[in-house]
Chain A
Amino acid sequence: MNYTPRLPGRNHNVTEVSPLRELAVLLGGLLAIIIFAYLLLGLGADLLVSRISPATEQKLAALLSSHYGKPSQPTPREIELQAIINKMEQSGCVDLPYPVSVHIVDSKTVNAMALPGGYITVFSGLLKIVRSENELAFVLGHELGHFKHRDHLRGLGRGLVFAFLATLTGTSESAVSQLAIKAVQVTESGFSRSQEAAADAYSLHILNCVYGHVGGATDFFIHMPKKLDPGHIGHYFASHPENKKRIQALIALQRKKGYRSGPLIPLPALKKRAVKEKKSYPSPR
C-alpha cells in the first residue's frame, strides 16, 4: 500500500455561489412576502373599518377611554377649543355621525390626535404655538377629516397588523427583522401621506365653509418651531420637505377651489400676545 500525497483539485465543501446574489434573492423574497402580507392584512383592516358602525365605534371608544381615564371638568382652554368645534358643527359644514369633544393633554409634543368615539386629544405644546383661531380651526378641522375618512380606526387596524408582523419577524434574526420593519414603515408612510393630504383638504373645506375664507390654513406649518420637528412622517412636522409639499398642496387646492383669504380671528386667551405680535403676522394669502 502506497501513500500518494495529493492536493484536492476542487473544494467540495464550499459551494461556489456569489454571496451578494444569495443576499439579493433571500432579502428580496423576504421583503416581498412581508410587504405583500402587510398590504393584504392592511386591506383587510380597511375593509373591516368601513363596516364598523358609529355605535360599535362608541363601544370601542369606551373600552379605550377606560384605560385613559375619564376626563374631569373641562378647563377654560378646553371650553375655548370646544367652542370652535361647536361653531364648526353648528354651521352645518361638518357631517359626522357623532359629536366631537376635545381634550387637552399636558405635553410638550406639538401634535393632536383623533381617537375612536369622536375624541380629539390636543397636546398643550401645540396650543403654545398657534396664534389665531383660524390656525387652530385648521388643526381641529384636520382631525375632523380623520374622523370623516375613518383614518383613526384604519390606523388602529394597520397598527395591529404592523405589530403582528414585527413580532413575527422579530423571532428570527434581529437585523433581518429590523430591515423588514423599515420596509413596512416606508410602505406605511405612503399610506399616512395620502391620509394626511385628504384630511388637509377636508379641513380647508371646513375652514372656508365656517369662516368664509381660508386665511391661516398654512400658518400652523410656518409657526411650528424647527427644533420641534420630529423629522419623520408624522402629523404636523414643519420645515421638512414633506411639509413644504403639504403647504404647496394646500395653496394649490385653495386656488383650484377659488377660496379666498381673509382676516384672522385672534384667540381669546392669546389676545394680548396676538395684538403685540400683530405686525409680525405673515401677510394673508
Chain B
Amino acid sequence: MTDLIIILTLTALGYFAGSWAEKRHYLSIREREKQLLHLPAITMKDVPYPGEAVRSIHLAAGSAVISIDYFKRLLAGLRNIFGGTIVSYESLLDRARREALLRMKESAPEAAIIVNVRIETSAIGKYSSKRNIGCIEALAYGTAIELVQR
C-alpha cells in the first residue's frame, strides 16, 4: 500500500510540477525567440561576405539539460509495452533543442549571423541509478560572424 501511495504521489507531482515548469519554459522560449529573431542561425557552411567586411569570427555554443519527470517516465514506460510514438518525450527534446539554440544566440550578441549551426543530443545519467531517472542535453554550436561597423 505504501508503495502505491509513493508511486501515485510521485506521478501526481510529476504531472503538476512538470506541466507547470514546461508551460513556463515554453513562454520564456517563445519570448526570447522573438527577441533574437534579428540574429540568423543557419546551417549553411559559408556566406559570401567580402573579406574586409568581417571583423571577427568565433565559436558560439549553447547547451541545455532538461530533466524527465516521473509522469513522463510512466507514460514512456507504458508506451514501451504497446509501441508507438513516445509523445511524452517530444516536448522534452523540443525544449532542450530550442533552449540550446537560444543560448547559443545569446552567447554571440555582437554577431551578424551564425553559420554552420549543428545540434547534438545526448542522454545524461541514463545508468546513474537503478531508478533510471535520466535527462537529456542538447548542444547547439556554430560559427558566429561579426561584421565591421559602418
Residues of A participating in the B interface, judged by any CB pair closer than 8 Å: 3, 5-7, 11, 13-15, 17, 19-20, 22-23, 26-27, 29-30, 172-176, 178-179, 182, 232
Contact = CB atoms under 8 A, between A and B. Distances in A.
Given A14-B94, A19-B75, A5 B37 contact: yes
B78 A11 contact: no
A5 B91 CA distance: 24
B94 A5 contact: no
A176 B33 CA distance: 38
Contacts of A6: 37
Interface stretch (B50-58, B60-68, B80-88, B134-142): B80-88
A27 B7 CA distance: 14
Interface string B87-125: 110110110000000000000000001000000000000
Interface of B: 1, 3-4, 7, 10-11, 15, 19, 30, 33-34, 37-38, 40, 42, 70-82, 85, 87-88, 90-91, 93-94, 113, 131
Closest 3 pairs between A and B when the two form their complex, measured CB to CB = A173-B77, A26-B78, A5-B37
B44 to A, nearest CB: 10
A13 B7 CA distance: 29
B87 A17 contact: yes
Given A7-B37, A179-B7, A182-B4, A15 B78 contact: no
A173 B7 contact: no
B87 A15 contact: yes
A175 B87 CA distance: 19
A179 B37 CA distance: 47
Nearest to A7: B33
B94 A172 contact: no
Contacts of A13: 90, 93-94
Given A173-B77, A175-B77, 13 more contacts: A5-B38, A7-B33, A14-B90, A19-B19, A19-B88, A26-B78, A26-B82, A173-B74, A174-B131, A175-B74, A176-B74, A176-B78, A178-B7
B33 to A, nearest CB: 6
A232 B78 CA distance: 28
Contact of A172 (B15, B72, B77): B77
Contacts of B72: 19
A52 B103 CA distance: 71
18 contacts: A3-B113, A7-B37, A13-B90, A15-B87, A19-B15, A19-B88, A23-B71, A26-B79, A26-B82, A29-B82, A30-B81, A173-B76, A173-B78, A175-B70, A175-B73, A175-B77, A176-B77, A178-B3
